[in-house]
A and B are shown apart, each in its own frame.
Chain A
Amino acid sequence: MRWIPFILSSLITIVLIYALNRSWGGTPPIGRLLSPQHGVWQNAEPADADFNIEIQAPQLKDRVEVYLDERMVPHIFAQNEADAFFVQGYVHAKFRLWQMDFQTRAAAGKLSEILGAGPDDAILNFDRNMRRLGMVYSAEIAVEEAKKDPATNTAVASYTDGVNYYINNLKKSQYPIEYKLLNYEPEQWSFLKTALFLKYMSLDLAGREDDFEMTNAKSIFTKEDFNLIYPITQDSLDPIVPKGSVFDAAGLKLTVPAVADSLYYDYKYDSLQIVPGVKPDPGNGSNNWAVAGTKTQSGRPILCNDPHLSLNLPSLWFEMQIHTPQFNSYGATFPGAPCIIIGFNDNIAWGFTNGMRDVRDYYEITYKDESRSQYLFNNEWLNTSWRVDTIKTKGRVDMIDSVAYVKLGDATCPVMYDHSYTGGRTKGDRHFAVRWKAHDPSNEQKLFYALNHAKTYAEYSEAVKNLQTPGQNIVFSAKTGEVAIWCQGSWPGKWYRQGDFVMPGSDTSFLWQGMIPQPENPHQIITGTGDRGFVSSANQYPTDTTYPYYLGGSYPPYRGLIINRYLSSMSGITPDMMKQLQVENYNVFAEMARPMLLKNIDETSLDNDEKKYLDIFKSWNLRNDVQEKGITVFSQWFDSLEVEVWRDEFKQTDLALVWPDESTLLEGLLRDSAFKFINNINTPESETLPFVVTAAFKKAVKNLKVLESEDRLEWARFKATGVRHLLRQGPLSRLKLAIGGGTHIINATKDYHGPSWRMIVHLTDDIEAYGIYPGGQSGNPGSKYYDNFVDNWAAGQYATLWLMKKGEENDKRVVGKMSFSK
């Protein structure tokens, strides 16, 4: 009997260890997690941590020195490019390993493996969506293409070696905290992962389409109404390439399919049955501009860029300088890919905004039978090919997903939506293949490589040709004074409304007929004499109506309008003036809307509460500043007006539709106070503009009272901008920041989306540059460098970017040195 206490006590010990050494649901293994020698305590970086290290790696050819400055920006000095990219990979992994792993997992549709299927299978469906879009398929094609180019091949291969050198020498106790929380281990990096990361950016920037929703809309609206609700451009448009620019006649001749009138332009045609589903995220925007020396105080150009993307911790961006005998470049990098992405070198600066065009279209496939082994194309039954994916899912058996691929003309396209996966966008009884430009062979990595090396306009304009997808507006300026912009991408030449709706895929007639010849892409070069002295883009429609191609896509007009207004009026420009412009909160949309609203509101019908809010709006300075209340009143009022005007038309169907742009309603009302949609089709009387404006205001006031009672009337409190951890963990995020701006504003800061990297480069002899991003260099939540830029970013402040030179090794800004040798 003396055994019993021993057995009991041992059992308790063993069970205790077992319980503390494994995950329970979402709870991490708590024993391992809290062990000071193994768990999260190991990630608590000492505030005065020493970053000096010496590393020997057999892959290196020569010595490489990395100087870490006081903001933890690495300045890499290498003797050759292969070494530089090896060390770039190492440094990215050292500061951002988990994020690199997580983002490429997301791109490949492998999140379920570490996160489980999620509520309502949301994560599993995310994975299936990625796989069915052919993300891995397109990345594999990109790898093949990149390997053909020796420079790209060396860059990515060396980068991969650097990442893996770090991973292979990483002790388990030093794994980033997210691995410990989620209880999994890092995978080896690969060429494919770099390609996957770039494809993820393509998806973010060139993956937007509303083809199903627009097809639904087509089925309920007449052609005239459809074009009023979804216009191609707005009256106020100030395009990227100024109005009146002369374009060559289209080099690509397009044929509209003979059957389009009956089969495609079939408005108010209700045979299509597509169930409502998830709406794609709104597109990502950005601002960039460059002013020529004729407009600056110094006589040298200034280039500015702020890409608007999801605001995450760790940030998408990582600041870095790379110095080799061949190039010396500084800027924001993508952890996951070699080279500087947005930045400058000794001679030039460059930046991006999104091109916004629609390069993702759907074709309906007709299968011969349920086996899906043959499909109809040009009156023949062709064989499908298959890609069988195994989706590992934590806590469940693996899911096997067989995706059919069909050849439509020259393009091989995955059948994304079918009976097995609808994406919430179809009923599952029809089959839709996706034609996405990002599937085509291209080498975008070469774009960055070439820009890092470029010294002149000629080299820049040659470099940009490497960019096929995602199409971007690439702004440029050089020390020598040139300023230019190219709207660059490989874009399908489309006939009117081609690809706005799902298309028949049973023959060649609706396929893309070719790409717009690259020299015909809109572009502008500023010489300084006889021109406006600047280039700019803010995702607006790139040209006036004389450009000979239909573009597709969705283009916000107002940021471009206000940027161009400011730039036109400015002279003697300094970098400080550009900083102010990047964080400018003036609301040009409200400037256009306010007179119309005030003219039409029936003030006599307002009670005292309502009058109080109207007075706030009347006395508002039209700025989306942190403490303004007028903008909150305006945003509630306009939202409410949209509902008043559109709801009756959109309630005609349960189908998923895309809500019209705000600009469409505003400019429709400005153009015509009897805009036909004002009338509520469900009432006998005909509503007028004053009626709906007043009704909308009264409804808005109800919301405003609630907001005021919650002390959320001030704009920043209402908007509640936050920078969220990639796992959406509140304690690892920075929420409710005091920052103004918003939609239509140059400072385009929304709730979790906004200027992800602000950069200003003054092309003086030594290059004067400023930048900031809402994050910090370290991806480790236990480091003081995790989020140390966030407050300054929110306050509209900038850091001075230091293009370090040889001989400055002992500068007081250097706080650490990493030495690499063979």
Chain B
Amino acid sequence: MKFLISIILIALLSFAVGLYLPWWSLALVAFLVAILIHQRAGKSFLTGFLALFFLWGIMAFVIDQQNQQILSAKVSQMLPLGGSGIALILVTGLIGGLVAGFAAMSGSYLRTVRR
């Protein structure tokens, strides 16, 4: 239950702060949520990772659908990811997920320190 709530909370709050703050504000969100809802380090990492992997991945996917893959094909060629829009979406999710995962893990460790 904690696991699921953490994921949902991180995803929702990251979306909200992303509207106003720089992209890396999601790390603060994941960090704070992991302090607030304590889980073991590995699990915290996973909550952060999954929250942002899905948040960024789904946002990118929806945008990509509406855009009919016009831009993702081009950017994916430039990065280079071989022109695959799906690859670009996965990399997008991966990057968001990694940052949030480590931030959440840090939050979990801080709670351990304080205990």
Contacts and interface: CB of A to CB of B under 8 A. Distances in A.
A13 interface: yes
Contacts of B105: 9, 13
A606 B96 CA distance: 67
A5 B112 contact: yes
B99 A784 contact: no
Interface string B17-48: 01100111001000100000000010000000
Contacts of A43: 71
A782 B112 contact: no
Contacts of B9: none
Contact of B92 (A41, A181, A786): A41
A12 B64 CA distance: 31
Nearest to A17: B24
B64 A34 contact: no
B72 interface: yes
Given A5-B109, A44-B67, A21 B24 contact: yes
A564 B22 CA distance: 62
Interface in A1-34: 2-3, 5-6, 9-10, 12-13, 16-17, 20-21, 30-32, 34
Contacts, number: 119
A13 B71 contact: no
B30 to A, nearest CB: 9
Interface stretch (A352-360, A369-377, A398-406, A728-736): A728-736
B23 A13 contact: no
Contacts of A10: 106, 109
Contacts of B24: 17, 20-21, 31
A47 B18 contact: no
Contact of A6 (B78, B83, B96, B112): B112
Given A9-B106, A20-B95, A44-B67, A32 B23 contact: yes
Query: Which applies to chain A's interface (DSSP): helix, strand, loop or mixed?
Result: helix
A21 B95 CA distance: 12
B98 interface: yes
Interface string A45-66: 1111000000000000000000
A40 interface: yes
Nearest to B85: A44
Query: Which applies to chain B's interface (DSSP): helix, strand, loop or mixed?
Result: helix
Contacts of A732: 74, 78
Chain B, interface size: which category? 35 or more
A407 interface: no
A37 B74 contact: no
A784 B68 contact: yes
A3 B115 CA distance: 11
A181 B77 CA distance: 14
Interface in B47-79: 56, 59-60, 63-64, 66-68, 70-75, 77-78
B103 to A, nearest CB: 5
B110 interface: yes
A41 B71 CA distance: 8
B13 interface: no
A180 B78 CA distance: 13
Nearest to B24: A17
B42 to A, nearest CB: 11
Most buried by A among B23, B70, B106: B23
Interface residues of A, number: 40
Contact of A9 (B70, B78, B102): B102
A783 B74 CA distance: 11
Interface string A784-813: 101000000000000000000000000000
Contacts of B74: 731-732, 781-782
A313 to B, nearest CB: 11
Contacts of A519: none
A147 interface: no
A41 B70 contact: no
B113 interface: yes
B56 to A, nearest CB: 5
A13 B66 CA distance: 33
Contacts of B112: 2, 5-6
Given A35-B23, A41-B59, A43-B71, A731 B95 contact: no
B71 A6 contact: no
A49 to B, nearest CB: 9
Contacts of A20: 24, 95, 99
Contact of A44 (B19, B70, B96): B70
Given A782-B71, A784-B70, A36 B59 contact: yes
A46 B109 contact: no
Contact of A36 (B75, B83, B92): B92
B96 A35 contact: yes
B92 A34 contact: yes
A183 to B, nearest CB: 13
A48 B109 CA distance: 47
Interface string B88-112: 1001100110110011011001101
Contacts of B19: 37
B63 A44 contact: yes
Most buried by B among A16, A32, A786: A16
Contacts of A47: 66-68, 70
A46 B67 contact: yes
A399 to B, nearest CB: 29
A308 B95 CA distance: 45
Nearest to A10: B106
Contacts of A21: 22-24
Contacts of B92: 34, 36, 41
B113 A2 contact: yes
Given A30-B95, A40-B75, A47-B67, A13 B103 contact: yes
A314 interface: no
23 contacts: A6-B106, A13-B99, A13-B106, A16-B99, A17-B24, A32-B23, A34-B60, A34-B88, A35-B56, A35-B96, A36-B63, A37-B23, A38-B22, A41-B60, A43-B71, A44-B66, A44-B71, A47-B67, A729-B78, A730-B77, A781-B70, A782-B74, A784-B70
Given A13-B102, A31-B24, A41-B71, 18 more contacts: A5-B109, A9-B102, A30-B95, A31-B99, A32-B22, A34-B60, A34-B96, A36-B92, A41-B60, A41-B92, A44-B67, A46-B66, A47-B66, A47-B68, A781-B71, A781-B74, A783-B70, A786-B70
Interface of A: 2-3, 5-6, 9-10, 12-13, 16-17, 20-21, 30-32, 34-41, 43-48, 177, 181, 729-732, 781-784, 786
Cβ-closest 8 pairs across A and B: A782-B71, A35-B23, A731-B77, A44-B67, A6-B109, A36-B59, A46-B66, A13-B102
